[in-house]
Chain A
């Protein structure tokens, strides 16, 4: 029974839903919920990035730029032009998707370090534009963003909602909303992976030559997954902007890109639950390292290095392997 459940392709999703939805019963502190919501949003971004990095084996060192573009698109469209949030979010995602396709087509011909450099440059350029267009974006001072409006409802962390006679704090409502988004993000990603499209993407990672030989249009699939992961980042950027209510160019910069990619590598490439764990660990770590703030980047670098050396498959896959071999040894001993 348990074995069958673990073999099911959505078992991870069910476990994730169970853990995340039990959290509101365990804590009641607005700051914790703020943290948890931020983690859920960034985890959804990383789930999308994992399709590109973990499954298709391509790298993007500028992914925060797409996150930032989505955030600023929503912020500008809603605050300056009065667009409804949902329409701004989807238009932003379409715009970022198109941009990713235009950029991805030429640069995804590059491999390895060259692709890293190209995506790095794209990230820098977009971050600089956001920083310098202060007339639109407020420049380094950032800009404020109105709360998220969903079909007449306004989701704000400061409101109190009444549902079926229960009082629901705004920050709890935001948390629950972000969890629904995260679960949807995982479901969509998992469905893509478990399809012919996903198999083609993984074959590009495994052997591009083999993929081309059996007819996979590798250039097209690389562009496709680049666009998908950029759209993930854009949507989550939009939600992040509405959630925090204030954004600065830091969300689009190099450090943020590195943080995203570190989450994928640390958590476990090609493991959706793994990269979510990576997001949780790397978002919570600074909270425990407040005394060492000056050394934060150094510690991140060290973590990345040690992961690559000792757990190249990442945190979660390594943990599962150790657990399995322990269980296997015990079962063998019993028999």
Chain B
């Protein structure tokens, strides 16, 4: 099993604040790898560093063995990385289906000229793209909202729509930032099942999540961070019994 993501000696400071400090870990291909920690521990900052929205102050990030520090998010997408957001990023000026079709951006061929002339190959490609997007919306469980405007959808549907869009890009690694936040029990159970199905397809999944039941059940490995530093790492059982983790979450 090869390493999908290797992080070593990662540092990120905002002014005087050390958001991430000396963080090192490895995510193997095909794993479900979760990052947990109290609010403000630096989980989302870590995701923003890995996905290219922030540049590290120090340290090294490797994707499939390639140094990817300083690469823009769209360059990382070309290398098979995709993510969802805690603060959802959905294009409200488009329909739900178009949002998912957008996910296939890099899989589509054609340039401005073929668009202007509306070549038959382009139209065929659009039809295929539409079919695949529709299938993906069924897959994540929002098949009822294919023709709806994104702006008219509820929070829970939008959360799944973001996952469908990410999956449309056929990523090798998918980063989900608090996908269960704001979902009710039934919806969380559905999400649990969805992440399992995605992982079964061989996609590496990195997860930031507060729902412990979900995280402990689904993860192969866990990383616990606090104040930007690594507190513990290991299998769910190892982490659950780690005294430092218990102290951080429950107090001494």
Most buried by A among B73, B98, B129: B73
Quick one: which of B89, B116, B117 contacts A209, CB cutoff 8 A?
B89
Q: Does B92 contact A (CB under 8 A)?
A: yes
Quick one: which of A192, A211, A217 contacts B102, CB cutoff 8 A?
A211
- Stretch of A77-85, A122-130, A193-201 that contacts chain B: A193-201
Closest to A215 in B: B77
Most buried by B among A195, A209, A213, A224: A213
Q: What's the count of A-B pairs with C-beta under 8 Å?
A: 104
Cα distance A210–B169 when bound, in Å?
A: 12
Does the CB pair B74–A197 fall under 8 Å?
no
Instruction: Give a binary string over B91-134; 1 marks a CB under 8 Å from any A CB, 0 the rest.
Output: 11110001101110110101110111110001001100100000
Chain A count of residues within 8 A CB distance of the other chain: 28
Does the CB pair A214–B85 fall under 8 Å?
no
Cα distance A195–B83 when bound, in Å?
A: 24
Q: Does A206 contact B (CB under 8 A)?
A: yes
Instruction: Give a binary string over A186-223; 1 marks a CB under 8 Å from any B CB, 0 the rest.
Output: 00100110111111101101110111111111100000
Does the CB pair B82–A206 fall under 8 Å?
no
Instruction: Give a binary string over B16-38; 1 marks a CB under 8 Å from any A CB, 0 the rest.
Output: 00000000000000000000000
Cα distance A202–B78 when bound, in Å?
A: 20
Does the CB pair A224–B112 fall under 8 Å?
yes
Give the interface size bracket for B toward A.
35 or more
Q: Does A265 contact B (CB under 8 A)?
A: no
Does the CB pair A203–B169 fall under 8 Å?
no
B interface residue numbers (CB < 8 A to A): 51, 53, 72-74, 77-78, 82-83, 85, 89-94, 98-99, 101-103, 105-106, 108, 110-112, 114-118, 122, 125-126, 129, 150, 165-166, 168-169
A interface residue numbers (CB < 8 A to B): 188, 191-192, 194-200, 202-203, 205-207, 209-218, 224, 228, 270
29 contacts between A and B (CB under 8 A): A191-B118, A192-B116, A195-B110, A195-B122, A195-B126, A196-B105, A196-B122, A197-B110, A197-B115, A198-B115, A200-B102, A202-B98, A203-B94, A206-B90, A206-B93, A209-B85, A209-B89, A210-B89, A211-B91, A213-B73, A213-B74, A213-B83, A213-B166, A214-B102, A214-B103, A215-B77, A216-B74, A224-B112, A270-B93
| 13 more CB-based (< 8 A) A-B contacts, given A203-B102, A214-B165 | A195-B122, A195-B126, A196-B105, A196-B129, A197-B111, A205-B93, A206-B92, A206-B94, A210-B89, A214-B168, A215-B74, A216-B105, A224-B112
